[in-house]
Amino acid sequence: MSGAVCPGSFDPVTSGHLYVFERAASRFDELVITVTINPNKQGMFTVDERLELLRKVTAHLPNVRIDSWQGLLVDYVRDQGFDTIVKGLRGSTDFEYELPMAQMNRDLTGVETIFMLTDPRLAHVSSSLVKEVAKLGGPVGDFLPSVVHEQLLAKLSSGR
Ligand code: PNS
C-alpha cells in the first residue's frame, strides 16, 4: 500500500492546493495532508480552523486524511509508515525554496519528495498573496474553494 504526506501551512488552503491534493490522491492509496505548526509564526487562521477547512474541501476524497504536526517533518512521515512527501510546484521560485528541504529530508532519512505541478492557471496563487489582496479589498473568490472564501471574508469583516 502506497502513502504520502502533503505538508504545508495551509493558512488557508487555496484552490491551487486542492488541485495538487486531488492529483496526489489519485496516485497514492493514502494521502495525509498535514498542517505543520510553526510556534514562531502566527497565522491568520488558527490550526483548528485550517484543519476544519481542509476537512471540508477534501470531503470528496475518501483516501485523504487531515492531521497536524509540530516537529521535524521526516520523523512524522516515518511515524505514519510512509517514505514520501508530496509538494506542489508553481514555478522556479518554489523549486529554489523546496530543493534544499527535499535534499535535507532525503539525507536525514531517505524520505523522498515528489513534486507535482500545480494548475498553470493558478501558478500565481499563494495563501499569503490571496490574504494580502483580500485585506486590501480585492476579489479573491476565483482562487479559493467557496467555504474558504466565505470564512476569509467573515474573518476580515469581523476584524478577527
Ligand atoms: O506551506 P509552507 O510554509 O511552504 O510549508 C513548508 C513546510 C511546512 C513543509 C516546511 O517548513 C517544513 O517541512 N516544516 C516542518 C519542520 C521541518 O521538518 N523542517 C526541516 C525541513 S528540511
Distance 74 CA to ligand 1 centre (A): 10
Atom of ligand 1 nearest to the CA of 87: 9
Tell me the per-residue pLDDT of 38-80, one tens digit each, with 9 for 90 and over: 999 989 999 999 999 999 999 999 999 999 999 999 999 999 9
Q: 7 CB under 6 A from ligand 1?
A: yes
Tell me the per-residue pLDDT of 106-142, one tens digit each, with 9 for 90 and over: 999 999 999 999 999 999 999 999 999 999 999 999 9
**pTM of the entire predicted model:** 0.96
Residues 55, 70: Cα–Cα separation, whole Å: 19
Measured CA distances, 41 to 11, 23, 36, 88, 106 (Å): 11, 29, 11, 21, 25
Q: What CATH number is associated with residue 111?
A: 3.40.50.620
Total domains, the chain: 1
41 is catalytic: yes
Measured CA distances, 143 to 22, 31, 46, 80 (Å): 16, 23, 20, 31
pLDDT exceeding 90 applies to what percent of the chain?
Answer: 96
Residues 81, 95: Cα–Cα separation, whole Å: 26
Catalytic residue among 15, 50, 87, 127: 127
9, exposed or middle or buried, with CB in 10 Å at 0-12, 13-18, 19+? Answer: middle
The residue segments making up the domain with residue 132 are 3-158
> Would you state the cell numbers that stand for residue 57, as one nine-digit string?
474541501
